[in-house]
């Protein structure tokens, strides 16, 4: 029993689970299944709930969220698609956070020694909601990476899930609207959503470029060359 509870054993189990999930995504392509629609007799509300559950499992298995958001808009339209996508996003984030917290936190925390890792851990531990909200609003950090970084830190469940639910709404809505209006690419809704996606990506890249020096390793100062002592005639005896 002690072997099963060992931090490195749990970390190995987490790695195996993530590898298996990634292999299933490559083999079965679940994002295509989600975009094919639902049985015609199923009420739209129940279908949206099932979609959100499948969405959460897919994001935990590393299916890209933009594809799922586009599928949500194409299948359900904007209102129901947005609710299903945001609900699935929170569910998938919670699954990843729980797996990382239960199986990887104790094993990985001793390795938080780099300057970038320590800074990220400190921000998430002290300002969990504010830091996660910024991460979710700006789409520069991959969704799965943010989930597991937060799980390794001391960020609480409440701030993590609330920041995820609020911060992912703008970007998710843009993709859902784009998916719902993809049949008419010249419509104002599609052009506005596409423009928002492009602008938010550019802003995220600009912010990351400006903040790159904050987490860069310090450059060691060059030591002044040491010259041998100058021996003068006065230093010698008679």
Higher-scoring residue by pLDDT: 5, 122: 122
Stretch among 21-25, 34-38, 102-106, 190-194 having the lowest mean pLDDT: 34-38
Instruction: Look at residue 134 in the predicted model and tell me its pLDDT.
Output: 87
Q: What is the pLDDT of residues 76-129, one digit of tens each?
A: 999 999 999 999 999 999 998 988 888 765 555 555 555 555 666 667 777 778
Q: Whats the size of the chain, residue-wise?
A: 238
Q: What is the mean pLDDT of residues 210-221?
A: 54
Q: How far is CA 116 from CA 107, 199, 218, in A?
A: 18, 27, 11
| Domain ranges (residues) in the chain | 2-34+43-213
Q: How far is CA 35 from CA 190, 201, 210, 228, in A?
A: 18, 25, 38, 76
Instruction: Look at residue 200 in the predicted model and tell me its pLDDT.
Output: 81
Q: Reply yes or no on whether the pLDDT at 227 is more than 70.
A: no
pLDDT band at 197 (very low <50, low <70, confident <90, very high): confident
Task: Name the nearest CA neighbour of 92 among 124, 62, 121.
Answer: 62
Instruction: Look at residue 101 in the predicted model and tell me its pLDDT.
Output: 83
Stretch among 8-12, 40-44, 99-103, 158-162 having the lowest mean pLDDT: 8-12
Strands (E), the chain: none
Q: What is the mean pLDDT of residues 206-227?
A: 57
pLDDT band at 2 (very low <50, low <70, confident <90, very high): very low
pLDDT band at 171 (very low <50, low <70, confident <90, very high): very high
Q: pTM of the predicted model, to two decimals? A: 0.73
């Amino acid at each position: 029993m002690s072997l099963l509870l060992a931090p490195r054993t749990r970390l190995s189990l987490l790695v195996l689970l993530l590898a298996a999930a990634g292999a299933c995504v490559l083999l079965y392509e679940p994002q295509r299944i989600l975009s094919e629609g639902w049985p015609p007799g199923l009420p739209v509300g129940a279908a949206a709930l099932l979609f959100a559950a499948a969405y959460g499992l897919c994001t935990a298995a590393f299916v890209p969220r933009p594809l799922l958001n586009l599928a949500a808009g194409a299948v359900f339209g904007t209102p129901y698609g947005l609710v299903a996508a945001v609900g699935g996003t929170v569910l998938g984030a919670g699954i990843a956070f729980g797996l990382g917290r239960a199986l990887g936190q104790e094993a990985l925390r001793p390795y938080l020694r780099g300057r970038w890792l320590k800074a990220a851990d400190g921000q998430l531990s002290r300002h969990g909601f504010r830091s996660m909200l910024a991460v979710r609003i700006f789409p520069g950090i991959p969704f799965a990476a943010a989930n597991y970084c937060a799980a390794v830190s001391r960020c609480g469940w409440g701030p993590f899930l609330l920041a995820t639910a609020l911060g992912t709404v703008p970007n998710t809505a843009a993709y859902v609207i784009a998916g719902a209006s993809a049949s008419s690419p010249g419509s104002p809704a599609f052009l506005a959503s596409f423009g928002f996606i492009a602008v938010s990506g550019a802003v995220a890249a600009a912010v990351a470029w400006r903040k790159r020096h904050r987490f860069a390793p310090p450059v060691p100062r060059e030591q002044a060359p040491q010259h041998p002592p100058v021996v003068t005639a006065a230093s010698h005896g008679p």
